[in-house]
Amino acid sequence: MTLRLTDDARRDLSDIRSYTRREFGARQAALYMGRLGEGFKALRRHPDIGFMIDHLKPGFRCFRVQHYAIFYAQAGEIIAVVAVLHESQLPTRHLEQRSGD
């Protein structure tokens, strides 16, 4: 499986890293990013690990990694990650305009 991050998902990760570094320090930011990286590895090995979110975005899944949710869709051998959101963020607000393209 190939994991592809959309530009929006890359921005989410950058925002997570920046916010965490600013609020909790570089060590915590590295820890969060490492855990998310492990989550991406698990997702690549087991793309059906996430639960369906057809009620939010048809054809997409959500996979939780600690306090974060990875939103993605699979098309053949490609896993397209469209968002990485903190549990405090409302997915409906962030997912509406995002696609796996």
User: Is-above-0.85 flag for pTM?
Assistant: yes
Domain spanning 2-95: which CATH class is it, in words? alpha beta
Query: Under 8 Å CB-to-CB from 70, ≥6 apart: which residues?
Result: 36, 39, 40, 43, 50, 62, 63, 64, 81, 83, 84
pLDDT at residue 100, as a whole number: 67
Q: Which of 84, 67, 88 is closest to 10 using CA atoms? A: 84
Asked whether the predicted pLDDT for residue 94 surpasses 90, the reply is no
- The pLDDT of 16-23, averaged and rounded, is 97
Asked whether the predicted pLDDT for residue 73 surpasses 80, the reply is yes
pLDDT at residue 101, as a whole number: 62
